[in-house]
Structure 1
Amino acid sequence: MLIFNLPEYKKLAQEIARGKSEKIKRGGFEKRIFPNGESQLILKSKVAGENCAILGGISAPNELIDLLFLSDLLKKDGAKKVIAVVPYFSLSRQDKSEPDKSWGMKSLSNIFLSSKFDNIISLDLHNEYGRKMFKNKLVSIETVQLFADQIRKICLQDYCVIAPDEGAKARAGKLAELLRCRQFGYFKKVRTNNYTKHLKYHGDIEKIAVIYDDILDTGATLISAVKELRRLGFDEIYIFVTHGQFTGAKWKQLSKFGVKAIYATNSIPKKTTSKLIKELSAAGLIKKYLLSSPRK
């Protein structure tokens, strides 16, 4: 198999294809941008009869266009199968139809289903409803084992697994189950346009809090949760998230309220040098799926 990557995902692609005798090799292409702003992709690898994967994001419009152009180019040049590897599936929170608002996930499903991609893989999609829009072409790989292993490595004692809202209860529950941790808690909350307010914490209280969620965006939800946990008597707090967006600067306040570390996968290329953030590589999970997926 050949794996191609958009520029920001070079490091992750290198990890996936690491090893001299690996079954996954890196493919190459060049992007030419003309004076008028139009672009063209030029393939640098032979792909006839090969299974191919394209690793990248879809947050920026040009990223989505490049993914689509490259998938079409690979199929045109004879690739047997083309898989989109989109670790963080942008717009996954736009999974419901609302009057007068665009429906992000539905629009993306229409685009991908009409593309040359045979299937798409992502990490911890926001919810199952969004995945169903893709008619079984979208696979969501769970990362919970990655975090469970890390928690065991840092040897935490007397901790409680906590979901920052009701939507994260199932996800956090899986982590607690893997860790055989009986101490569990969650928040009930209401969200407005200007702030997030946690109404009440439900669950156990221990010395250490392990908060688990899929996305850390601005950090507003987590800041509210952490403040309340400190008030309730938790001494140390660790945050584990699949997708660390780290938008703006508000999330940096987390260190002021007893957060010892934020563990996030490399699903989104890291853009901050904060020592608070500890990166966990999802390369092994992606590689395992690519090598086990059907070849036809």
Structure 2
Amino acid sequence: MTELTPAPGPRPGPRPQSFQAPQGDLTLLAGTGNPQLAAKIAAELGVQLLPSEAPRFSEGNVFVRVLENVRGRDVYVIQGVHLPVNDNFMELLFWIDALKRASAQQVTAVIPFFSYSKGDKKDEPRVSIRARVCADALEVAGCDRVLTMDLHSPQIQGFFGIPVDHLYGRHVICDHIQKLNIPDLVVCSPDIGFAKDAAAYADLLGTPVVIGNKLRTGHDETVQALEVIGDVEDKNVLLVDDFTISGGTLIAMADILKQRGAKDIYAAVTHGVLSQGAAPRIGNSVIKKLFMTDTIEYRLDEFPDNIEIIPVAPVFAEAIRSVHDRTSVSQLFPEK
């Protein structure tokens, strides 16, 4: 058998260990969903927001335009997907498309709250997996990376074929709560689904954790709290969740905790969605204080005195800087 030999010629050199694309200028663009948060992030990073405009026509059509050259830049579009959810999501897609057509080197969608992350599974016949549809749409529009906070289900990151950096609001919330020096504190998850996250809260705060049990009978946000697994008698309790819409889960569980002998009831969520009437209901509840971050800016009702806002601009600014400098984002969230 004749042995084949390679054709003569220069041998290839050693294969590089890694390749990194050239780094463009860090540029922030604020959509209409989170202008205040975007301004705070820009201030933290010491940069100016990219001039842009997004007028809406009388029938609801949105028109986006970047007012400065972005060729070769790394652009971070700060745009939450919250009320009005569909308008904000479509605007985000249009920003990504406009920037890619203007030859931006990389476009990162910074989504403080991704509302459609609730649609993470097909648990009923003939329903859409909405989060997957949104992930596909972002990629088709040209998005290179997603940076978001507290997805309803972390596995949603697997819906994307592009990198997703998942930030956590519990670290800034726990830092704030620790300064209050609340005695005899216990962390409570409102249901089994958030138990793992509640345990992470408890680990950061150095407290025990208990678990609630709730029943949701439909899609109307009506919740019935059934029981609490664990001892809360003569304890101060911190209810934790990723978001609240109507406040129903937190209020119902707070009532159960009071019936089980708890003293003061606190609550903490990353995303305070708060539909119409939710804030007054929380104000009239047994919840002594609800802590939530500023990932969502719109307000349908005036906030009562027992709602307190915790800023997250420093977290997003640090994450954006880490992504741009190609350093680890996970190092921002050390486990205690």
Q: Tell me if TM exceeds 0.5.
A: yes
Q: Deviations for 1:46-101, whole angstroms, at most 9, x for unmatched residues?
A: 21221111111234322222211211221222211110011110111111113222
**Paired residues for 1:98-247 under 5 Å:** 98-181=124-207, 183-193=208-218, 195-205=222-232, 206-247=234-275
How many pairs align?
293
Check the 8 A contact 2:189/2:195 in 1, yes or no.
Answer: yes
Q: For residue 53 of structure 1, what is the amino acid of its counterpart?
A: Y
Q: For residue 279 of structure 1, what is the amino acid of its counterpart?
A: I
Q: Deviations for 1:152-176, whole angstroms, at most 9, x for unmatched residues?
A: 1111111111101111111111011
Q: TM-score when scaled to structure 2?
A: 0.81
Check the 8 A contact 1:223/1:251 in 2, yes or no.
Answer: no
Q: Which moved more, 1:159-168 or 1:35-44?
A: 35-44
> Per-residue deviation at 1:200?
1.7
1:77 match: 102
* 2:57 is aligned with 1:31: no
1:61 match: 86
Q: Deviations for 1:219-243, whole angstroms, at most 9, x for unmatched residues?
A: 1111110110111111211110001
2:309 match: 279
CA distance in 2, matches of 1:32, 1:147: 35
> Per-residue deviation at 1:201?
0.6
CA distance in 1, matches of 2:227, 2:60: 52
CA distance in 2, matches of 1:81, 1:72: 12
CA distance in 1, matches of 2:32, 2:109: 15
Q: For residue 16 of structure 1, what is the amino acid of its counterpart?
A: I
Aligned-partner SS, 2:176:
helix
Check the 8 A contact 1:51/1:295 in 2, yes or no.
Answer: no
* 2:72 is aligned with 1:49: yes
The CA RMSD over aligned residues, in Å, is 2.0
CA distance in 2, matches of 1:254, 1:294: 40
Q: Which has the larger radius of gyration?
A: 2
Q: Which moved more, 1:270-279 or 1:148-157?
A: 270-279
Identity %: 25
CA distance in 2, matches of 1:127, 1:41: 31
**Paired residues for 1:243-254 under 5 Å:** 243-250=271-278, 252-254=280-282
Alpha-carbon distance change, 201 to 51 in structure 1, aligned in 2, over 3 angstroms = same
Q: For residue 142 of structure 1, what is the amino acid of its counterpart?
A: Y
Q: For residue 281 of structure 1, what is the amino acid of its counterpart?
A: P
Q: Which moved more, 1:26-35 or 1:169-178?
A: 26-35
Q: Higher strand share goes to which structure?
A: 1
Q: For residue 273 of structure 1, what is the amino acid of its counterpart?
A: E
Match among 7, 11, 21 for residue 36 of structure 2: 11
Check the 8 A contact 2:33/2:88 in 1, yes or no.
Answer: no
Check the 8 A contact 1:109/1:134 in 2, yes or no.
Answer: yes
CA distance in 1, matches of 2:140, 2:316: 24
Q: Deviations for 1:109-132, whole angstroms, at most 9, x for unmatched residues?
A: 111121211111111101122221
Q: TM-score when scaled to structure 1?
A: 0.92
Q: For residue 280 of structure 1, what is the amino acid of its counterpart?
A: I
Check the 8 A contact 1:220/1:251 in 2, yes or no.
Answer: no
Aligned-partner SS, 1:260:
strand
CA distance in 2, matches of 1:38, 1:92: 25
> Per-residue deviation at 1:33?
4.3
